[in-house]
Amino acid sequence: MALDKLKQDFRFEYKLVHKIPRPKALELIASSDIFIDQLVLGSYGMATMEAFAMGKPVVCFMKESVQSCFPGISPVVNANPDTITDKLYALLADGELRNKKGIESRAYAERYHDIDVVINDLITIYEKVIQHQK
């Protein structure tokens, strides 16, 4: 397992953020140095966006076909079960890299996921759905 291999060279604590109340999940994300999302599905969701907003480096599997659906250059450290050990090793070994990825994450959240940025698109979507329901 990747975490067992990494513990040979690094001292860290791993906390699973799964099936817990949202406030506790946000607290755990906020206290983390690295956030690992899913490594199989190929995209990210709300937990990653929360981690972006908190300026956390995020490790997640992003399919190439899905990457082009997201705007800009994603700050995600793209990893899968075969590459997770190496990707985490690089982040654990290099505080400057973690800081850089965290800064990129926060900037990405502000540029592409902030409510002021997406509100008009959301209103348009809701209006279309409402019109379709009538």
- Could you read off the pLDDT of 6-24 as tens digits, one per residue? 999 999 999 999 999 999 9
Backbone φ and ψ of 99, nearest 5°: -65, -45
17's tokens? 């953020």
Residue type, 107: A
94's tokens? 């290099």
* Parent domain of 15: 2-133
The number of domains in the chain is: 1
Model confidence, pTM: 0.86
pLDDT of residue 116: 84
How far apart CA 46 and CA 51 sit, in angstroms, is 9
Q: How far is CA 60 from the centre of its chain?
A: 6
CATH of the domain at 55: 3.40.50.2000
* Residues linked to residue 36 through DSSP beta bridges, in sequence order: 59
Backbone φ and ψ of 129, nearest 5°: -65, -45
At residue 30, does pLDDT exceed 80? yes
